[in-house]
Structure 1
Amino acid sequence: MASVTQAVSNSVQSIRKVIFASSAGTVIEWYDFYIFGSLSTVMASKFYHTGTDIGDLIAWLSTFAIGFMVRPFGALFFGRIGDLVGRKFTYLLTISIMAGSTMGVGLLPTADTLGAFAGIILITLRILQGLALGGQYGGAATFVAEHAPHGKRGFYTSWIQTTATLGLFLSLGIILATRKIVGEADFSEWGWRIPFLFSVALVFLSLWIRSSLKESPLFTQMKATKTVSKNPLKESFANKFNRKWVLIALFGATMGQGVVWYTGQFYALFYLQKIFKVTLVDSNFIVGAAVLLATPLFIFFGWLSDRIGRKPIMMAGMLLAVLTYYPIYGAMAAFAPTDPGQHFLFAYQGYNQVALTFLVFIQVVYVTMVYGPIAAFLVELFPTKIRYTSMSLPYHLGNGVFGGLVPILGLAWINATGNNFAGLWWPMAIAATCFIFGMIFVRETKDVDITDETTTFAHQAEAAQGKQVKGAMPVMPEK
């Protein structure tokens, strides 16, 4: 134990480098992932010819959703590698796969050249992107947390939480810059490829930064003491105690976090463009400004979670989303460029970019509340020897499946009902369910000591209650 503590102490000296390297690579992976979604209205009809613009968009969003749906499989596959081989090797591998897939999208001929095969190849590339992203997050969060000193895990891992937002912001910036440089006509014709190809240079930079890092001190200690898991999948999911906490992490935290995240950022952008008819440039500017203003709050809520706990902040974010989504989107309809014809609480006021930016900003604040503390929460929930595998699956089920379904279900329900607000039903229902489940079953984790390479949450909780532990994972008693 002393050697582990010393390793963690020594690692504090290089924590800034660890955070920077992990964050830089993760920003790039999210950038790759979100340029695909941000360009949906430009690219849908280039790869799918369904006969209608809405049909092309649904086909495109379905392809986008596939990338989310396969993320849990990437979590299982790469999580196992991360627990067996190491954190560093795994996230170097995932970013390489992501880069190759993104470059492939940028070079892929359209349906005018390849016909239906263009869509098939695009789906294949999206699957590879989703698998890579499924293996990335757990590695980055685990790597930073295992370097962080006790009492500061929420603060340090919250820097990783900013990367998804910064990746989205970077994608919007590159898209807007490219569009301005090449012109609207050329951007629609061929310029959309540039943001995909631009990521290749970013990937080389990230690989260079990450290759200079050393392995996590806790994983290094496990290898030295020969306590590395022999079968992370079996130990994570066949063990009934650990499986129970995987399910609690999913239904009490990550699925609610997932829908709030995608509603507040990606879906807000989609709503502005397709429902409220804000132009591509204006909508990207509105979301980009809101994201930029709110991003420091990821750090704030991560820091705050070290003091008051992870649970109250995450639960508050979900509850606020459930209570205010309808009024927020009703107000957005009131400030759209043209009267959408459907209102909630607010009469049409006329186009107001500042008001729309503020309304998106509120949604991103909720994102920072649910997302800022969650990496530390998941890391603290599972022991080091199976941490990568155990935390990755509920995270990517919550984000990839529940969160990833937000755009496609929202559009389908709007199209089926004619109700512009029907797209909010799914995130509100999931966030409400997660809030109730989380309030009952989730307990606080901020005081967990993760420096024991084989046990953490369960064994420490049971020991505190004077019980014999067999297996793992009941929760820490709340203070």
Structure 2
Amino acid sequence: MATAQAVATNTPMTREEKKVIFASSLGTVFEWYDFYLYGSLAVFIGKHFFSALDPASQMIFSLLAFAAGFIVRPFGALVFGRLGDMIGRKYTFLVTILIMGLSTFIVGLLPGYASIGVAAPVILIGLRLLQGLALGGEYGGAATYVAEHAPAGRRGAYTAWIQTTATLGLFLSLLVILGVRTATGEEAFAEWGWRIPFIVSIALLAISVWIRLAMNESPAFQKMKSEGKTSKAPLSESFGQWKNLKIVILALVGVVAGQAVVWYTGQFYALFFLTQQLKVDGTTANLLVAASLLIGTPFFVVFGTLSDKIGRKPIIMVGLLLAILTYFPLFKALTQAANPDLAKAQANASVVVTADPKECSFQFNPTGTAKFTTTCDIAKQKLSSSSVSYDNEATPGQPATVKVGETVIPVTVTPEDIAAAKVAAEAKLAGLKAAATPDAKAIKATEDQLKALNDEKKAKDAVFTAKLKAALKAAGYPEKADPAKINKPVIIAILTVLVIYVTMVYGPIAAMLVEMFPTRIRYTSMSLPYHIGNGWFGGLLPTTAFAIVAQTGNMYNGLWYPIIVAGVTLVIGLLFVKETKDTDIYGND
């Protein structure tokens, strides 16, 4: 075995092996490109397909439709994994790319709510479900296909190329969107230009199908089929027999779950953190993330190749450990580099909500239907909507206050506060109208403010909001990141470190999952834990982290979710998961 591996390691890749890797990887890049388009363009999709709702609900429902694709991925793994183990790898993941590509193309042509009514969002969600099902079958097919073509001692290096595809697909989607947006202009892009990235994917689909049709079936499956050893019931073999089911469970909780949360933290949550918490504009944030992906992506192959020499498990476990130990300091450094004014304000004038715990409700409100009426809820909702991080202090029996540094702002507004606000607004309006060059926009805003102050309910909200905004401004809290103060090289360096963690946990994982299961049920067995881990543990990370931040008030507390999940995987992986790099993957037992 050692001699064979040494020979394989020193043998150049053959033309056929290059073709296998290129075809599998290229097709998967295109599939991820299709999948990510929806997430990147969710705001435009919400406006066109959920236009009967208010803007906030449009975004929420478009993101829920996006999440539907993640939720059904494990079911796609079952459907296509079973087919892959019964009829072959090649034809199964040829079907997956056809489903994925055609669904994406149709999204680009689908009429909106204004044209066909409720049928538009219904069809859209159906297409998202098809995309999720197809992606559930794609990864297992590509990983199995490449691994079964790879020579002994090179599986980590060969399958690592597939691991680059999700990052490259995301990178490609960002570039296409940016190019189309620049070419059409913002107004045209919002109206119809957003459809172009979906429509042009038909060309990518054609290339992928053409390449995959020219590929041969994997040698491991051909050997098994010629010996009459293919599984007649891969689902029951994989999950109905304890000897295989326990490996599926170990693969999920001892390898994939931790990998998934590190992957989504490094490539998705970091972007969300930049835009939502640090208030960096979307274009700048996307370009910074894209730069880090460009620098970090080659490390997928580096760590995949290294895993052929020292093992898959050590690299994955070290990646998890580094993430656990450094996420908090890295994200705090990201704050300092991206929005130093915010970091300074947080250090010099922390925000504290003092309130009776009985008045405080659960703050996560994804549907926008909850009505916050208590002083505690109003205070937290205002701070959350302004992306201000705060601490909580219990004061039983007392109405809520917000303390910004040394300034205390009562949430309860008195009639005297409203009267004073009216006087100030009237004086401001008179001054604006008397100016040599009146500012029409400022005049209109002040007139709207006066109207609000004449409505008792709106007046209370307006006065508290104005006081809070003034206190935050006085304490140095910025409304958005100052472009002139953004330290782009440092941000790219931090984001690259996060991407390198991703490459450590993700680079060797395809080879490891392939090696954990016998050939006859490999496609089915490895696909399910992979897609439960990445579709549920990883795909739901942004939502879960946001819920934690909304409830606790601290913008860093969302990191506890990936840290805890990665910690569980680290412990279980170290104790119970075996090294796999020297496994004979042609075995069927």
Q: Same fold (TM over 0.5)?
A: yes
Unaligned runs of 5+ in 2: 351-475
> What is the deviation of 1:59?
2.5
CA 1:247 to 1:380, structure 2 compared with 1: closer, same or farther past 3 Å? same
CA 1:314 to 1:176, structure 2 compared with 1: closer, same or farther past 3 Å? same
CA 1:28 to 1:111, structure 2 compared with 1: closer, same or farther past 3 Å? same
Task: Tell me the distance in 2 between the aligned counterparts of 1:251 and 1:343.
Answer: 37
Task: Tell me the distance in 1 between the aligned counterparts of 2:562 and 2:42.
Answer: 21
Does structure 1 residue 291 correspond to structure 2 residue 290? no
Per-residue CA deviations over 1:287-315 (Å, capped at 9, x if unaligned) read 11100100110000000000111011101
CA 1:450 to 1:32, structure 2 compared with 1: closer, same or farther past 3 Å? same
Kept in 2, the 8 Å contact 1:331–1:344? The answer is no
Aligned counterpart, 2:81: 79
SS of 1:397's equivalent in the other structure is: helix
Query: Which of the pair has more CA radius of gyration?
Result: 2
Aligned counterpart, 2:540: 405
Kept in 1, the 8 Å contact 2:311–2:579? The answer is yes
Kept in 2, the 8 Å contact 1:12–1:148? The answer is no
Does structure 1 residue 22 correspond to structure 2 residue 24? yes
Kept in 1, the 8 Å contact 2:257–2:565? The answer is yes
Task: Tell me the distance in 1 between the aligned counterparts of 2:121 and 2:491.
Answer: 34
Aligned counterpart, 2:318: 316
Kept in 2, the 8 Å contact 1:61–1:408? The answer is no
> What is the deviation of 1:320?
1.3
Task: Tell me the distance in 1 between the aligned counterparts of 2:339 and 2:157.
Answer: 40
In structure 2, what residue type is equivalent to 1:309? Answer: G
Does structure 1 residue 367 correspond to structure 2 residue 502? yes
Aligned counterpart, 1:193: 195
Aligned counterpart, 1:393: 528
Unaligned runs of 5+ in 1: 456-479
SS of 1:335's equivalent in the other structure is: helix
Does structure 1 residue 239 correspond to structure 2 residue 241? yes
Within 5 A, what are the aligned runs for 1:212-291?
212-291=214-293
In structure 2, what residue type is equivalent to 1:19? Answer: I
CA 1:14 to 1:391, structure 2 compared with 1: closer, same or farther past 3 Å? same
Task: Tell me the distance in 1 between the aligned counterparts of 2:257 and 2:172.
Answer: 25
Aligned counterpart, 2:449: none
Greater shift in the superposed pair: 333-342 or 256-265: 333-342
Within 5 A, what are the aligned runs for 1:158-173?
158-173=160-175
Kept in 2, the 8 Å contact 1:23–1:159? The answer is yes
Greater shift in the superposed pair: 292-301 or 11-20: 11-20
Per-residue CA deviations over 1:357-382 (Å, capped at 9, x if unaligned) read 22211111010000000000000000
Task: Tell me the distance in 2 between the aligned counterparts of 1:95 and 1:233.
Answer: 22
> What is the deviation of 1:275?
2.5
CA 1:116 to 1:283, structure 2 compared with 1: closer, same or farther past 3 Å? farther
Kept in 2, the 8 Å contact 1:158–1:372? The answer is yes
Task: Tell me the distance in 1 between the aligned counterparts of 2:75 and 2:237.
Answer: 17
Alignment counterpart, residue 35 of structure 1, candidates 12, 22, 37: 37
Task: Tell me the distance in 2 between the aligned counterparts of 1:114 and 1:383.
Answer: 49
Aligned counterpart, 1:461: none
In structure 2, what residue type is equivalent to 1:370? Answer: V
Alignment counterpart, residue 561 of structure 2, candidates 401, 413, 426: 426
CA 1:65 to 1:265, structure 2 compared with 1: closer, same or farther past 3 Å? same
Aligned counterpart, 1:157: 159
In structure 1, what residue type is equivalent to 2:492? Answer: T
> What is the deviation of 1:417?
3.8
Q: How many residues align?
A: 448
SS of 1:98's equivalent in the other structure is: helix
> What is the deviation of 1:227?
0.6
Aligned counterpart, 2:402: none
Task: Tell me the distance in 1 between the aligned counterparts of 2:210 and 2:134.
Answer: 18
Within 5 A, what are the aligned runs for 1:67-106?
67-106=69-108
In structure 1, what residue type is equivalent to 2:68? Answer: I
Kept in 2, the 8 Å contact 1:330–1:343? The answer is no
SS of 1:109's equivalent in the other structure is: coil
Kept in 1, the 8 Å contact 2:51–2:114? The answer is no
Task: Tell me the distance in 1 between the aligned counterparts of 2:106 and 2:504.
Answer: 35
Kept in 2, the 8 Å contact 1:67–1:126? The answer is yes
Per-residue CA deviations over 1:24-59 (Å, capped at 9, x if unaligned) read 100000000111112234443433358665443332
> What is the deviation of 1:120?
2.5
> What is the deviation of 1:326?
1.7
SS of 1:443's equivalent in the other structure is: coil
Per-residue CA deviations over 1:196-224 (Å, capped at 9, x if unaligned) read 11111001001001100110011111111
> What is the deviation of 1:279?
2.2
Task: Tell me the distance in 1 between the aligned counterparts of 2:269 and 2:212.
Answer: 32
Task: Tell me the distance in 1 between the aligned counterparts of 2:227 and 2:79.
Answer: 25
> What is the deviation of 1:13?
5.1
Task: Tell me the distance in 1 between the aligned counterparts of 2:547 and 2:84.
Answer: 37
Does structure 1 residue 305 correspond to structure 2 residue 307? yes
Per-residue CA deviations over 1:140-198 (Å, capped at 9, x if unaligned) read 00000001011110000001111111111101111111111111221122111111111
Kindly report the root-mean-square deviation, in angstroms, between the aligned alpha carbons of the 2 structures: 2.4
Task: Tell me the distance in 2 between the aligned counterparts of 1:245 and 1:232.
Answer: 15
In structure 2, what residue type is equivalent to 1:375? Answer: A
Aligned counterpart, 2:409: none
CA 1:314 to 1:221, structure 2 compared with 1: closer, same or farther past 3 Å? same
> What is the deviation of 1:408?
1.9
Question: Percent same amino acid among aligned pairs?
Answer: 55
In structure 2, what residue type is equivalent to 1:368? Answer: T
In structure 2, what residue type is equivalent to 1:296? Answer: P
Kept in 2, the 8 Å contact 1:65–1:408? The answer is no
Task: Tell me the distance in 2 between the aligned counterparts of 1:227 and 1:353.
Answer: 56
> What is the deviation of 1:330?
1.5
Task: Tell me the distance in 1 between the aligned counterparts of 2:548 and 2:264.
Answer: 17
Task: Tell me the distance in 2 between the aligned counterparts of 1:366 and 1:252.
Answer: 17
Give the TM-score taking structure 2 as reference length. Answer: 0.72
Give the TM-score taking structure 1 as reference length. Answer: 0.88
Aligned counterpart, 1:435: 570
In structure 1, what residue type is equivalent to 2:571? Answer: I
SS of 2:228's equivalent in the other structure is: coil
Kept in 1, the 8 Å contact 2:29–2:169? The answer is yes
Kept in 1, the 8 Å contact 2:518–2:586? The answer is no
Task: Tell me the distance in 2 between the aligned counterparts of 1:97 and 1:24.
Answer: 16
> What is the deviation of 1:274?
2.5
